[in-house]
Amino acid sequence: MLRIVVKRFIIYGGIFSAINFSAWSAEYTPSWSQRQQQSAACFMTGDETCMTFIDDAVRLASQQYGKRSIQLVRSLLLQSDIYQWLGKPELTPQMLLRARAIMKTFPADTYPGDRADMFEHLAAFNVYSDDRYIEYSPTEQWRYEIKVDYRQQIAWQEQALTWRLKDKKASTEALVYTLNRMRDAYSDALEERDVECDSARKAYYLAKIDATERQWLSVILRDKTWDNRERVASFLQQKADIAYNAGHISEAINALSQALKIEQNALWRRIRRNDG
């Protein structure tokens, strides 16, 4: 008899607990920010749960903030990253184009950091739409939904850089990343056939690369809390070697002197730390 009572208690107690839990779950609705954070946390883990989280974040952004909200733009950009990473890039064009359409409805000069992110995503998508490296087939039609060439890629990356520089909250890492992408876009242009055969255009992009590198250096050097200065010194030494081999002696000396100055400052910091 006791066993029957215990068994019934376990069964009905379990049912009661399940009902209570279901009721609690029905009442509990995750916020957009929670889903966005969960999506970002599992990004690049290879776990397909990320897709569920980010799809929910997109839905919640639309419900909680509206179909033309900056929260929805942020979720769409992260959604495009996650889908590309987890092997479903055919769905990303519609996400990027939707984000761009929403961004166009915002007042000018608003959300500079988000605008930079959006243009950076559009510029990066060039990798998936460049037919030099893709054997076209009907199943890959999605690759051409965002049709760009290297000029469009550069234009989008230049807009990303413009907005990143306008963003007063941009971190040094974000600025450096955007400048690196800008340099890559200019460098890739040098491999294009119409640039290789045109000395004036080649010189133009080489000058752009040089200007971007100088800007990159200035961003790093003005941030006295960033611990990546030794990479700058190594970069400058490489520049000095290239300039010297090309016969540009004054440029080589200038780059080398900057590298030595950075290394000297780094050495003094280490000495002070050890003395302290």
Distance CA 150, CA 178 (A): 17
Q: What is the pLDDT of residues 59-71, one digit of tens each?
A: 999 999 999 999 9
Q: Residue ranges per domain, the chain?
A: 227-276
The count of other CB atoms within 10 Å of the CB of residue 165 is 16
Q: What is the pLDDT of residues 226-269, one digit of tens each?
A: 566 677 777 788 778 877 877 888 888 888 888 888 777 777 77
Task: Output the pLDDT for position 141.
Answer: 52
Angle between helices 70-85 and 49-65 (to 10 degrees): 170
Task: Output the pLDDT for position 24.
Answer: 40
pTM: 0.72
DSSP letter for each residue of 25-38:
HHH----HHHHHHH
**3-state DSSP call for residue 25?**
helix
210: number of CA atoms within 13 Å, CB side? Answer: 11
Q: What is the pLDDT of residues 72-114, one digit of tens each?
A: 999 999 999 998 888 787 788 889 999 999 999 999 999 999 9
Q: Cα-flanking dihedrals φ and ψ of residue 148, to 5°? A: -140, 155
Provide the pLDDT confidence category of residue 142 given band limits of 50, 70 and 90.
Answer: low
